[in-house]
Amino acid sequence: MVKLPECIEKSEYEKNISSQTPEVKIEPADITIALAGNANVGKSVIFNNLTGSEQVVGNWPGKTVDLAEGTFHYNGQKLHIIDLPGIYSFSTFSMEEIVSREYIAHEKPEVVINVLDGSVLERNLFFTLQLMEMGVPLVVCVNQMDIARQKGFHIDTEKLEKALGVPVVPTVAIHGEGLQKLVEKAIDVAQTRKVVEVPVEYGGEVERVVKQLEEFLDNEGLDLGYSNRWVAIKLLENDPEINKQVESISERAIQYSTYLALELEKIHDEPSFSIIASERYALASRIAAGAQKQDKYKPTLSEKLDKILIHPLFGYFTSALVILGLLIWTFVLGNFLSEIITEAMSFFQPVDAALSGPVIAVLWNGAFGGFVAGVTLIVPFVIPFYILLSYIENSGLLTRVAFMMDSFMQKIGLHGKALIPLILGYGCSVPAIDSTKILETRRERLLAAFAITFAPCSARTIIILSLVAIFVSIWWALALYVLDIIIIFIMGKLALKAMPGEATGLIMEMHALRLPSTSTILKQTWNRTKSLIYLVFPVFIAGSALIQVLYVLGILGPISNFMAPLTVGWLLLPSFAGILLIVGVVRKEFVLLTLVSFVGTDLSLALTPVQFIVLALIGMLYIPCLSTISILIREFGLKAASVISAANLITAFIVGGIAAHLLSFIL
């Protein structure tokens, strides 16, 4: 039987705290506050509201993989805010869980704010109990109270505070409600250093075994930076990382913990980690039941929509419509904006270096031509894409698409959650590959990264839209995206055969659908667009000028002649295409940049419709840019990065050559 604190009267646990921990105020000083909790509970929203930073807020699991830090001042007090990754436990199954528990244990923030989703209180309390086991200064923030009320839940935060024995503050962070009180409570806890010594007490055999092991660890003088009670629980759960740390200090502790765990397993006839988890769930359920009531259940609009969005049949159509809608929106609106901007910049025409002189040619064709190319060929397409992508992320649609695509992703050894970094790869491969950290195993991360390198990032999208959508047709551009999905599937199947193994099941938070705020969409779009603009425009201007210099000096001709058997003979492209492919390895935009430097913005003077399509297809598939190769080496090593790059290159030339010969009979 689990010993539970009462929700109505002051618990024995609270009485122990008041007697054991004197509230001694300390002088004002810098305070570090860590935000911890499950994914999608609103930690990043709170972080942004408090710090005013530009942290991206996304509505899908595992968004915060790395630590995000910000500062702000409140009543003369400087506060450091750390937004920890969204996790569900303190196990070592993922990098996020390790990062969070190591930070709390070893960096020792003055207070931890545990953010809960009020609409799923019982499930979130499972993690709260683990924080309490660690004995950290704690404030519980019950966020998304508006959604809880919509679902008919009435949460008595006073009863919840009595049950937990730590301050509890209700908030609606997206509207800023309750955040001032939350900060005040956090400062108060930090200044009094009110730490719970015995935060969670289980019942029966479990509590007896935990106390026996804790006492043994105390006698051994064990100090891992965690409380010995927490270490005892993790040993009983057979946590591999804690086992390793304890074994290096005391083998006797490992032997004794194994003996006690086996004793528990004989009594309960189940694994010891499952026994501990059951104790936590029982306690979380009892606390939640005592602190909340629910009116007669009425399905929310989000739940009604989910009957269609994740329906076994209709869900596939809605997911396909979301992805197709993202592409069509980008093509149609981008093409419309591009025509307007191109008309406005129609005064720009390249000049002949022989007539105007090399300096004028470099400055006009190169530097100013690079700027015109950026304005007319990048901005019109990138901004619409990022606007709608931000909406899909923050509304919760992306999570539904990932869920429905799980069966498809399983065929290439992944699960639906891998679709998240794959779709992010349509923006940029570098952060997409970095975001594969949300996947559980190195094998899954490597398979996902391999698929991402075939996804057309914004730079490749620029090439597709600028070459095909503008000079051939939108539908041929869309056809390239469809072909790319087929290629990703085929290459994924081949990679799966080369790296056989069993894919893990899909476990992810299905957050309620919501209309994201316009400010969030615009801020996220600007954060993504500005980094591209700040990088691409200087590169376009400087790179275009450099290419003009090489052109004037006559260096580019021999390179083109050397690659002619491949570019002209097999790919049926003009002879100068070899130069385009070489410079494109640095950044894919250089393909377009160099082409504009050669012939101006009216590219139809140099290429036929078939050549536009083939060049875009090659640019979409061939070797990743240097920044992508760099992160592949960092994450997976030189060998894996080389194999992935070679696969991209070979695929591009095989598919490009076949397409060139087939299309020559069609167009």
Instruction: Please give the residue that has the higher pLDDT: either 135 or 110.
Output: 110
Q: Is the pLDDT of residue 482 over 70?
A: yes
Q: Is 37 annotated as a binding residue?
A: yes
Q: Which residue has the tokens 């962070």?
A: 173
Best-predicted range by mean pLDDT among 217-231, 233-247, 392-406, 635-649?
635-649
Q: Is 152 annotated as a binding residue?
A: no
Predicted pLDDT of residue 21: 36
- The Cα–Cα gap between 420 and 43 comes to 20
Predicted pLDDT of residue 527: 74
Instruction: Tell me the pLDDT tens digit for each residue of 539-594.
Output: 667 766 777 777 777 777 788 888 899 999 999 999 888 888 887 776 777 788 77
Predicted pLDDT of residue 380: 77
Instruction: Please give the residue that has the higher pLDDT: either 545 or 663.
Output: 663
Predicted pLDDT of residue 656: 94
Predicted pLDDT of residue 60: 36
Instruction: Tell me the pLDDT tens digit for each residue of 266-311.
Output: 888 888 888 888 888 888 998 999 898 877 767 777 778 888 988 8
Predicted pLDDT of residue 348: 64
Average pLDDT over residues 434-457: 83
Q: Is 52 annotated as a binding residue?
A: yes
Q: Is 84 annotated as a binding residue?
A: yes
Phi, psi dihedral angles at 444 (to 5 degrees): -65, -40
Q: Is the pLDDT of residue 209 over 60?
A: yes
Predicted pLDDT of residue 29: 52
Q: Is 543 annotated as a binding residue?
A: no
Q: Is 146 annotated as a binding residue?
A: yes
- The Cα–Cα gap between 216 and 237 comes to 17
The closest alpha carbon to 160, from 256, 54, 292, belongs to 292
Instruction: Please give the residue that has the higher pLDDT: either 589 or 214.
Output: 214
pLDDT band at residue 413, thresholds of 50, 70 and 90?
low
- The Cα–Cα gap between 316 and 88 comes to 28
Predicted pLDDT of residue 365: 65
Nearest 10 degrees: Cα torsion 575, 577, 583, 586: -150
Beta bridge partners of 79: 31, 72
Task: Write down how long the chain is.
Answer: 667
Residue 246 host element (H or E)? helix 240-247
Q: Is 64 annotated as a binding residue?
A: yes
> Residue 463 in contact with residue 620, Cβ under 8 Å?
yes
Q: Is 83 annotated as a binding residue?
A: yes
Number of helical H runs and strand E runs in the chain: 34, 8
pLDDT band at residue 112, thresholds of 50, 70 and 90?
very high
pLDDT band at residue 23, thresholds of 50, 70 and 90?
very low
Predicted pLDDT of residue 361: 65
Q: Is the pLDDT of residue 428 over 80?
A: no
204-294: what fold? Helix Hairpins (1.10.287)
Q: Is 144 annotated as a binding residue?
A: yes
- Give the start-to-end residue ranges of the domains of the chain: 12-192, 204-294, 314-508+519-663
Supply the pTM of this predicted model: 0.64
Domain 12-192, second-level architecture: 3-Layer(aba) Sandwich (3.40)
CB atoms within 10 A of CB 496: 19
Predicted pLDDT of residue 134: 85
Q: Is 38 annotated as a binding residue?
A: yes
Predicted pLDDT of residue 535: 62
Give 479's Cβ-side CA count (13 Å radius).
13
Predicted pLDDT of residue 171: 94
Q: Is 354 annotated as a binding residue?
A: no
Predicted pLDDT of residue 167: 92
Q: Is 145 annotated as a binding residue?
A: yes
Average pLDDT over residues 655-661: 95
Q: Is 66 annotated as a binding residue?
A: yes
Predicted pLDDT of residue 15: 35
Instruction: Please give the residue that has the higher pLDDT: either 507 or 618.
Output: 618
In sequence order, what E strands does 209-297 have?
A: 292-294
Q: Is 366 annotated as a binding residue?
A: no
Q: Is 16 annotated as a binding residue?
A: no
Average pLDDT, the chain: 80
Instruction: Please give the residue that has the higher pLDDT: either 114 or 5.
Output: 114
Q: Is 143 annotated as a binding residue?
A: yes
Q: Is 504 annotated as a binding residue?
A: no
Q: Is 505 annotated as a binding residue?
A: no
Q: Is 117 annotated as a binding residue?
A: no
Q: Is the pLDDT of residue 520 over 80?
A: no
Average pLDDT over residues 464-485: 89
